[in-house]
Amino acid sequence: MRLDVITIFPDYLAPLRLSLIGRAVQDGLVDLRVHDLRMWTTDRHRTVDDTPYGGGPGMLMRPEPWGAAFDDVLGPGDAGTADPPARVVVPTPGGRPFTQAMAAELATEPWLVFACARYEGLDQRVLDEAAGRASLDEVSLGDYVVNGGEVAVLVIVEAVARLFPGVIGNAGSLVEESHADGLLEGPGWTKPSMWRGHAVPDVLLSGDHARIARWRRDQALRRTAARRPDLVARLEPDRLDRQDRSLLAELGWVVDPGGTLSRLADAPPPVAD
Ligand code: ADE
């Protein structure tokens, strides 16, 4: 997988050279190329921003350095090149929310190009230009504003690259983790079995793998119902077994005639966990 990041703060991306993703980069599984946008400026001050037409606070990023950066990074994009098509990702608070499903989808792409905006964002023509030559996704980390796209790229790359075959040693951990199946993962315990008077739940010491798997699923359902009712409402009832449905019913969730899960109006309040 090839990853290009265009930014005015290349050093911000240094953490991508650490830990699991760093090793994947070192091993050549991930071809990471970080570019300084100012390389494509032509004036003495290496200007990348300017005031918005129509007035208003703050500055926007000028289109020319971005256009030159796309020319060099994306290339001509015609059928004569050997490169696979790139997908351009622009982090912005106005984008589609980034989810595990989007991470899984991006992990199937051979080439992602991240464009990091700063200031009040990009001149709209930068986005139009990118959309004209590659597939473009504007992606938001969540309903809050950070100072630039770099921190979002760290998050997105971390979530995407770990799904890439070979990056994580134990692929089983990808199946069981939070959000993999639309549920939050339940709590976990390791050794010692007793610590400062706190015991590990007996079931986990039982060696009964089927019972443990069921208990973990119940914990995941309970936690999701307590912390993220929006995720419970999005579960597909067809993928719930009898025990799932009975536990959810105990928590006040039933499958309504429209085939979706909804919470009974007189259900007990969610139990915090
Ligand atoms: N840039 C600024 N805020 C952002 C957000 N919430 N998500 C992605 N990029 C951003």
Distance between CA 266 and CA 62 in Å, rounded? 55
Residue 84 above 80 pLDDT?
Answer: no
From 7, 90, 92, give the residue whose CB has the most ligand 1 atoms within 8 Å, as the site to mutate.
Answer: 92
Classify 141 as helix, strand or coil.
Answer: coil
pLDDT for res 232: 96
Ligand 1: does its nearest atom lie under 6 Å from the Cβ of 140? Answer: yes
Residue-averaged pLDDT of the chain: 94
The percent of residues in the chain predicted with pLDDT above 90, rounded, is 84
Distance between CA 158 and CA 135 in Å, rounded? 21
**pLDDT mean over 81-107:** 92
pLDDT for res 176: 75
Q: Which residue did the predictor score with more confidence, 190 or 176? A: 190
pLDDT for res 114: 98
Tokens 């060099």 locate to: 72
Q: How confident is the model at residue 77 (pLDDT cuts 50, 70, 90)?
A: low
Distance between CA 217 and CA 220 in Å, rounded? 5
How far is ligand 1, taken at its centre, from the CA of residue 106, in Å? 18
Residue 42 above 90 pLDDT?
Answer: yes
pLDDT for res 172: 74
Ligand 1: does its nearest atom lie under 6 Å from the Cβ of 97? Answer: no
Supply the residue whose CA is at minimum distance from atom 4 of ligand 1. 93
Q: How confident is the model at residue 181 (pLDDT cuts 50, 70, 90)?
A: confident
Q: What is the DSSP letter of 260?
A: S
Q: How confident is the model at residue 80 (pLDDT cuts 50, 70, 90)?
A: low
**pLDDT mean over 80-106:** 91
Ligand 1: does its nearest atom lie under 6 Å from the Cβ of 152? Answer: yes
The percent of residues in the chain predicted with pLDDT above 70, rounded, is 97
Contacts of 186 by beta carbon, 8 Å cutoff, 6+ apart: 216, 218, 219, 220, 222, 223
Residue 192 in tokens:
């010692």
Task: Give the pLDDT confidence of 122-158 residue by residue, as tens digits.
Answer: 999 999 999 999 999 999 999 999 999 999 999 999 9
pLDDT for res 82: 62
Q: Longest Cα pair distance anywhere in the chain, in angstroms? A: 70
pLDDT for res 79: 55
| Helix axes 124-133 and 63-74, enclosed angle (nearest 10) | 20
Distance between CA 148 and CA 153 in Å, rounded? 10
pLDDT for res 76: 79
Q: How confident is the model at residue 64 (pLDDT cuts 50, 70, 90)?
A: very high
pLDDT for res 22: 94
How far is ligand 1, taken at its centre, from the CA of residue 7, in Å? 14
Q: How confident is the model at residue 267 (pLDDT cuts 50, 70, 90)?
A: confident
- 3-state percent helix, strand, coil for the chain, nearest multiple of 5: 40, 20, 45
Residue 267 in tokens:
């259900």
